[in-house]
């Protein structure tokens, strides 16, 4: 691609969603923005945006191009900061991704980090899909399970999420609390809706709890947690989240085979940037404090 200005223009249009907003961000006339988009689409032979009354929405081809543009723009910004002697500043967007179930751990830390670095704009993305760091979809990914092995990523052991079975007081008042695993067949459970879930505790429940006893099932971990709190049944919850919620009864002690290892993943191109290193250092320190307090 021989015209970075056109790509940069397309990136800003996708970021703000309008021609006028992109023109203001770039300091150019709106006609220049339109001309750049038209020229880029003609050169690539495909539509990058769907035009509608509210603005511009990237097509699938546009999303592919813009992920690369975002990563490149971020690297240029870091380079410019170092060249201008501002390499110690921490600002701009910080994009962090994880499974939604780890938000009780991460959201307080992200909030504290943003408070310490007010120039940071936090974007916390939660999804079951793997965001592609090589396309600049995220700066830092927290991933669970086996150590990730994608090429060009820097992978670091992070922490282990302890998990066990909990019940609400209302459930215990109504159904009692199992004294041992032999009594599980007498009780009601909350579980995942995915019969192929690879989470170690989900696999354990499939093997040890009769299917008919799993009376509340959901693919949304937040719904599962709320169902446990509301007394729908006994279910798995992280020790950290159960402690924050309060009022829950631990049915059995956490087991090692229910624990989930978490990994910090960054792309090698952005791993050493000031912003990413500042966040990784902050995140590790905060989690060490939480582990020491537990």
* pLDDT tens digits for range 108-129: 999 999 999 999 999 999 887 7
Cross-strand partners of 260? 161
Residues 12 and 32 in one domain: yes
- d(CA 215, CA 24) in angstroms, rounded, equals 54
Pairing of strands 92-98, 120-126: parallel
pLDDT band at 274 (very low <50, low <70, confident <90, very high): confident
DSSP state of 234: B
SS3 category, 260 = strand
Residue 85 has pLDDT above 60, yes or no: no
Note the pLDDT of residue 148.
86
Residues 42 and 179 in one domain: no
Residues 119 and 153 in one domain: yes
pLDDT band at 10 (very low <50, low <70, confident <90, very high): confident
Q: Is the pTM of this model over 0.75?
A: no
The answer for residues whose C-beta is within 8 angstroms of residue 176's C-beta and 6 or more apart is none
| 213-261 tens-digit pLDDT | 999 999 888 999 999 999 999 999 999 889 888 899 999 999 998 988 9
How distant, in Å, are the alpha carbons of 135, 162, 190, 193 from that of 206? 37, 19, 11, 11
CATH number at residue 56: 1.10.10.10
pLDDT band at 87 (very low <50, low <70, confident <90, very high): very low
> How many domains, in total, are found in the chain?
3
What's the token pair of residue 186?
A: 């007498």
Mean model confidence pLDDT for the chain: 86
Residues 275 and 144 in one domain: yes
- d(CA 163, CA 144) in angstroms, rounded, equals 13
Lowest mean pLDDT of 33-37, 131-135, 163-167, name the range.
131-135
Residues 205 and 77 in one domain: no
**Type and span of the H or E element at 123:** strand 120-126
Residues 271 and 145 in one domain: yes
CATH number at residue 124: 3.40.190.10
Residue 79 has pLDDT above 70, yes or no: no
251, 186 Cβ separation under 8 angstroms:
no
Lowest mean pLDDT of 126-140, 175-189, 195-209, name the range.
126-140
- d(CA 36, CA 172) in angstroms, rounded, equals 65
Runs of H (alpha helix) within the chain: 4-16, 19-26, 30-44, 60-83, 103-116, 169-175, 200-208, 221-229, 239-245, 268-271, 274-293
DSSP state of 148: P
pLDDT band at 294 (very low <50, low <70, confident <90, very high): low
Note the pLDDT of residue 83.
45
Residues 167 and 183 in one domain: yes
Choosing from 56, 83, 110, the residue where a domain stops is: 83
Residue 4 has pLDDT above 80, yes or no: no
Choosing from 14, 48, 83, the residue where a domain stops is: 83
Query: What is the domain range of residue 273?
Result: 88-161+260-293
Residues 179 and 34 in one domain: no
Residue 81 has pLDDT above 80, yes or no: no
Closest CA to 163 of 97, 224, 96: 224
């Amino acid at each position: 691609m021989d015209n970075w200005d056109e790509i940069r223009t397309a990136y800003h249009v996708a970021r703000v969603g309008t021609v006028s907003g992109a023109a203001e961000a770039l300091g150019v006339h709106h006609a220049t923005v339109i001309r750049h988009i038209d020229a880029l689409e003609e050169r690539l032979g495909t539509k990058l945006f769907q035009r509608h009354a509210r603005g511009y929405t990237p097509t699938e081809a546009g999303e592919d191009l813009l992920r690369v543009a975002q990563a490149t723009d971020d690297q240029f910004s870091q380079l410019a900061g170092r060249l201008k002697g501002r390499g110690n500043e921490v600002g701009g967007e910080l994009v962090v991704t994880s499974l939604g179930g780890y938000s009780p751990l991460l959201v307080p830390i992200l909030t504290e980090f943003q408070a310490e670095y007010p120039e940071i704009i936090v974007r916390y993305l939660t999804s079951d899909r793997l965001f592609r760091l090589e396309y600049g979809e995220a700066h830092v990914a927290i991933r669970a399970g086996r150590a990730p092995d994608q090429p060009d990523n820097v992978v670091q052991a992070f922490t282990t999420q302890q998990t066990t079975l909990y019940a609400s007081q209302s459930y215990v008042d109504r159904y009692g609390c199992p004294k041992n695993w032999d009594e599980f067949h007498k009780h009601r459970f909350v579980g995942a809706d995915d019969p192929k879930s690879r989470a170690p505790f989900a696999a354990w429940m499939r093997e040890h709890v009769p299917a008919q006893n799993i009376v509340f099932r959901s693919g949304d971990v937040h719904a599962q947690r709320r169902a446990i709190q509301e007394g729908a049944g006994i279910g798995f919850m992280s020790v950290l989240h159960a402690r924050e919620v309060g009022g829950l009864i631990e049915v059995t002690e956490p087991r090692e085979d229910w624990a989930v290892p978490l990994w910090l993943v960054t792309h090698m191109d952005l791993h050493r940037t000031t912003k990413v290193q500042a966040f990784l250092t902050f995140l590790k320190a905060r989690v060490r404090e939480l582990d020491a307090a537990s």
